[in-house]
């Protein structure tokens, strides 16, 4: 049985925007892609990620 992890927007943003703890977020993503863990996210995550990326773009 795989470990289950809940990912929020702050983690997903770290996959594309280098910031503190991005290396941990990428490791988590890679563990998912390698089939080592099961990842779940709230249904609203695309909206939250888009909002965060928009804020980065406006800065």
- Domain boundaries along the sequence of the chain: 3-58
Helix (H) or strand (E) holding 24: helix 22-33
Q: Alpha-carbon distance 2 to 51, whole Å?
A: 31
Tens of pLDDT, residue by residue, the chain (59 residues): 889 999 999 999 999 999 999 999 999 999 999 999 999 999 999 999 999 999 888 87
pLDDT of 12: 96
What pLDDT is attached to residue 57? 83
- 38 within 8 A of 5, measured Cβ to Cβ: yes
Instruction: Read off the pTM.
Output: 0.83
Write the DSSP string, 45-58: HHHHHHHHHHHHHH
The DSSP 8-state label assigned to residue 16 in this structure reads T
């Amino acid at each position: 049985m795989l470990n289950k992890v809940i990912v929020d927007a702050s983690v997903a943003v770290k996959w594309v925007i280098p910031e503190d703890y991005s290396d941990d977020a990428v490791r988590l993503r890679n563990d998912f892609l390698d089939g080592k863990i099961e990842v779940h996210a709230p249904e609203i995550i695309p909206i939250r990620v888009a909002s965060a990326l928009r804020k980065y773009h406006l800065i």
